[in-house]
Copies of this chain bind each other. A is one copy, B any other.
Amino acid sequence: MSSNVKETILAAARKTAQAHGYGGLSYRDLAAEVGIKAASIYHHFASKADLGAAVARRYWEDIAAELDAMLAETSDPVQCLRLYPGTFRRSLEDGNRLCLCSFMSAEYANLPEAVQREAQGFADVNVAWLAKVLVMAGAVKPEDGGARARAIFAAVSGAQLYARSRSDVAQFDALIESYRTSGLLPA
């Protein structure tokens, strides 16, 4: 086990960043949460930019694994598409948190370059997975998979953002349902 503390920092930083953004990350608060001192974090991460990039990277790696596992388990692409918004929904349920990527897209102009890149990685992972599953489900023509995938990803992100501003998960559910009835998401 390469340092349990490092993992604990990553997890705590992720939770904080999903609630308060990269700018809301504070070495002092983070250290207090983990149970060490602020300066000690530098042993694990050379700078805040480093930490931010590591958090973002781990974030999309986790989601990528989760999405792949979902597909492997059911192997039913239509069912996967139904379940897809669930990952976003869970963030809202867990303390009205936002997708880290959405937060970082908003903060985009303030982010170190390395963090920007990793934040984009999350979107890329989601779009690639969606495109694949959409085509598998026969919902779109293969050449339209990417465009539709991006549309779904952006729309679901927007739904999460809207629901967060009302602190109301039901708003999220209603929006997803509207996406289905309007044809953006397969019904």
Residues of A within 8 A of B (CB): 19-21, 23-24, 96, 98, 101-110, 116, 119-120, 123, 147-148, 150-151, 153-159, 161-162, 164-167, 171, 174-175, 177-179, 182-184
Contact = CB atoms under 8 A, between A and B. Distances in A.
A155 B178 CA distance: 11
Given A24-B110, A182-B184, 12 more contacts: A21-B23, A103-B106, A108-B167, A123-B162, A123-B165, A147-B174, A148-B178, A154-B162, A154-B175, A157-B161, A182-B182, A183-B183
B151 A104 contact: no
A10 to B, nearest CB: 20
Given A151-B179, A155-B155, A184-B182, A161 B105 contact: yes
Nearest to A122: B165
A50 B167 CA distance: 22
A182 B110 contact: no
Output the residue of A104, A159, A165 with the most chain B CB within 10 A. A165
Contact of A184 (B96, B174, B183): B183
A98 B151 CA distance: 18
B165 A151 contact: no
A111 B159 CA distance: 20
B174 A150 contact: yes
A161 B158 contact: yes
Nearest to A163: B154
A155 to B, nearest CB: 4
A119 B174 CA distance: 21
Contact of A179 (B24, B156, B162, B184): B184
Contacts of A109: 19-20, 96
Given A120-B166, A184-B179, A21 B161 contact: no
By Cβ-Cβ distance, the 7 closest A-B pairs, closest first, are A158-B158, A183-B183, A151-B178, A105-B165, A154-B158, A155-B155, A106-B106
